[in-house]
Amino acid sequence: MSAGGIHLQGARTLFYKEVLRFWKVSFQTVAAPVLTAVLYLLIFGHVLEDHVRVYESVRYTSFLVPGLVMMSVLQNSFANSSSSLIQSKITGNLVFLLVTPLSHWAWFFAYVGASMVRGLTVGAGVLLVTVWFAPLSLAEPWWVLIFAALGAAMLGSLGLIAGLWAEKFDQMAAFQNFIIMPMTFLSGVFYSVHSLPGFWQAISHLNPFFYMIDGFRRGFFGVSDVSPWLSLAVVGCSFAVVASVALHLLRTGYKLRH
């Protein structure tokens, strides 16, 4: 078998292993995030339904659903690749991957691909459950697909970086609590950034997570806080940068071979 065939078969096998890893505990990795999103919807929707109106003819509960779906996609895509790597490093079974002839590209596609599967699966689950509470239409469905895929891929890549960098679970928790969570909650999941004071609007426009969620929401309502093409440019460039860093760290074996 040629080297290319070995890499392709190895990447496919590693991808399959990573998908099985989260699917074997799907009650924890899929069902639990769906339940969390539903609780957010019930609480925030009940409290703010009659007090907040972001877009004309769009109920607040309906506005909230796409944000919760995308938040679930992003958080679970990050969690999949980051948790897999840190667990493998701590338990020591990463050595079995290091002795294989897999290229850094094979590692990247397997880990990020599995992260996308988990993130999109959880997002689909959240959408299917929450749509009962707030029926949605698809005004521009292509934006839904584009931003869901790009967001999942970017957070899967970022999870790779975090998993390579972290050496202990508390370091991983710090990365998630001080970087991922603030960027997610300050991205307009629960509100429109136009409702913020000028300073915080400017801060929000520096957050790539805002463009993912705003572009994703555009697909449902046909309106958004910024142009979807601007969102696509920002998210695409952000993914290219994060993916390049992840590939470089994998190629150099950063914190993998000691």
| CA 209 – CA 235 distance, rounded (Å) | 8
pLDDT > 70? residue 102: yes
Q: Are 67 and 190 contacting, i.e. CB atoms less than 8 angstroms apart?
A: yes
33-67 per-position pLDDT tens digit: 999 999 998 887 776 666 566 677 778 888 889 99
Percent of the chain residues past pLDDT 90, beyond the cut: 61
pLDDT > 90? residue 257: no
| CA 102 – CA 256 distance, rounded (Å) | 14
Q: By C-alpha distance, which of 4, 162, 145 is closest to 83?
A: 162
User: pTM for this structure?
Assistant: 0.92
Nearest-10 Cα torsion for 147, 46, 76, 218: 0
185-228 per-position pLDDT tens digit: 888 888 877 777 878 788 888 999 999 999 999 999 988 889 99
pLDDT of res. 1? 46
- Exposed e or buried b per residue across 194-214, where buried means at least 16 C-beta atoms within 10 angstroms of its C-beta: eeeeeeeeeebbebbbbbbbb
pLDDT of res. 119? 97
